[in-house]
Amino acid sequence: MAAALALGLVAAGCGGDDPVAGGAEDLPGPVPKGVTFAEPPASAVDAPDFAATLVDGTPVRASELWNDRPLVLVFTASWCETCADVHRTAARVVDEHEGVALLGVVPADDADAARDYADELDLGDPLAAADDEVWLDYAAREPPLVALVAPGGKILRGWPGGVEEAVLARELDALRG
């Protein structure tokens, strides 16, 4: 009887607290002690701050992520066949740079499908759905687009179509304190 009930609950998806890929569990922890970053050039412009919703429903604000660390934004979509590779490449470079964060951003109308996308990529980084206005603010007319924001919120670079691994690594190396 108990076994049947447990089986039923599992089948219904109940009772599980499994973290959702791309959800709150994938938000970065504090910047490790001893990791510091350089000041961005004075000429750099402010990155537009925005609110978005992670694939598990958690609200997130970009400025909270870039407050004390570089943030790599990957504008992507579940239906975009080339985006996954661009996203993976950016995530790999970010993984190699301690203290740097990555936030994937999908269109608001792609929020449901984005859960499967996050599941499939399983990058360990948060993935959020954001309104059209956010895409326009970053001149992300079409995914993929990668943008680099310096600690404190100065936008440094944007790469429509994606960025080569070595190029992003070089940019992040230059931000080391």
Does 124 bind another protein (CB under 8 A)? Our answer is no
DSSP letter string, 16-28: --PPPTTSGGGS-
Among 64, 141, 173, 177, binds another protein (CB under 8 A): 141
Give the nearest distance from C-beta 127 to another protein in angstroms.
18
Left, alpha or beta for 139 (phi > 0: left; psi -120 to 50: alpha)? left
Distance CA 113, CA 78 (A): 6
User: Closer to another protein at the Cβ: 85 or 98?
Assistant: 85
Q: x/- site string to another protein, residues 43 to 82, per CB under 8 A?
A: ----------------------------------xxxxxx
Give the nearest distance from C-beta 166 to another protein in angstroms.
17
Distance CA 125, CA 133 (A): 23
Among 69, 135, 138, 168, binds another protein (CB under 8 A): 135
Report cis status (omega within 30 of 0) of the bond before 144.
yes
Give the nearest distance from C-beta 83 to another protein in angstroms.
9
Does 85 bind another protein (CB under 8 A)? Our answer is no
| Residue labelled with tokens 């670079």 | 157
DSSP letter string, 145-170: EEEEEETTTEEEEEEET---HHHHHH
Give the nearest distance from C-beta 10 to another protein in angstroms.
30
User: Closer to another protein at the Cβ: 9 or 136?
Assistant: 136
